[in-house]
């Protein structure tokens, strides 16, 4: 499952293929949409939640509120089912999805970070990231990414900075599940299910606020 972008997306993978998948794009309703999506996927596959052996969740980078919906839900499932919970970089999953769509590389992935910024990373190919994810203003990285295709919603939002925008615009969890299954089968250790924020949340305790106490 992934809630690090405007897409709320869930998939079930049997180790060989994606069995069922659900996705809906709504940046303001992650909390409302995630569990119904899980129910739909399980129903479509004809299985119950207690048959799940591993949970994979996108760790971002992504905005604070949406990202934590997926992480908390995944942690809850892992605890209730006593199964491992694995983290996967959302940008890596989107890069893998781009490969499934025919983008070979090198290329970059960019998602909307709000505040007129994007979360982004460069890829040598759909499975190989070069460097760590970052958050920047599109104009500040346009020169670095000049001549490269840029995959994702961030590219679509800022065509002046990223003229060669490619799909998919939003992540589908089937690609994340397939990448995770591939890495687990190879014996790779995935990320811990901890959020990759890259910056502080918008909501903060105000400084120097006035204390009002009764006399």
Rounded to whole angstroms, what are the CA distances from 20 to 12, 14, 190?
A: 5, 10, 22
Q: If pLDDT is split at 50, 70 and 90, which confidence band does 105 have? A: confident
Mean pLDDT of 74-101: 97
pLDDT tens digit sequence for 137-165:
999 999 999 999 999 999 999 999 999 99
Token pair recorded at residue 96: 């893998």
Task: Give the C-alpha separation, 161 to 33, whole Å.
Answer: 32
Token pair recorded at residue 117: 């910024």
What is the DSSP secondary structure assignment for residue 186, as one 8-state letter? Answer: T
| Residue labelled with tokens 């709504």 | 26
Task: Give the C-alpha separation, 91 to 5, whole Å.
Answer: 10
What local confidence, expressed as pLDDT, does residue 79 receive?
A: 97
pLDDT, averaged across the chain = 93
**Which residues make Cβ contacts (< 8 Å) with residue 143, sequence separation at least 6?**
none
User: Does 213 have pLDDT greater than 70?
Assistant: no
């Amino acid at each position: 499952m992934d809630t690090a972008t405007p897409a709320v997306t869930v998939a079930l993978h049997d180790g060989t293929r994606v069995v069922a998948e659900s996705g809906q794009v709504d940046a303001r309703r992650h909390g409302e949409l995630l569990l119904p999506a899980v129910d739909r996927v399980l129903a479509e596959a004809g299985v119950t939640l207690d048959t799940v052996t591993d949970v994979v969740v996108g760790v971002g980078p992504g905005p604070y509120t949406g990202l934590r919906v997926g992480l908390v839900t995944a942690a809850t499932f892992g605890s209730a089912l006593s199964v491992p919970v694995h983290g996967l970089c959302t940008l890596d999953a989107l890069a893998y999805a781009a490969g499934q769509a025919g983008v070979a590389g090198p290329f970059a992935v960019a998602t909307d970070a709000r505040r007129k910024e994007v979360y982004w990373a460069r890829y040598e190919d759909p499975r190989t990231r070069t460097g760590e994810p970052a958050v920047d203003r599109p104009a500040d990285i346009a020169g670095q990414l000049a001549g490269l295709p840029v995959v994702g919603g961030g590219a679509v939002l800022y065509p002046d900075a990223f003229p060669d925008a490619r799909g998919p615009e939003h992540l589908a969890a089937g690609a994340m599940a397939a990448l995770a299954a591939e890495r687990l089968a190879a014996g790779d250790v995935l990320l811990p299910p901890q959020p990759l924020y890259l910056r502080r949340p918008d909501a903060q305790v105000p400084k120097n606020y006035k204390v009002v106490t009764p006399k």
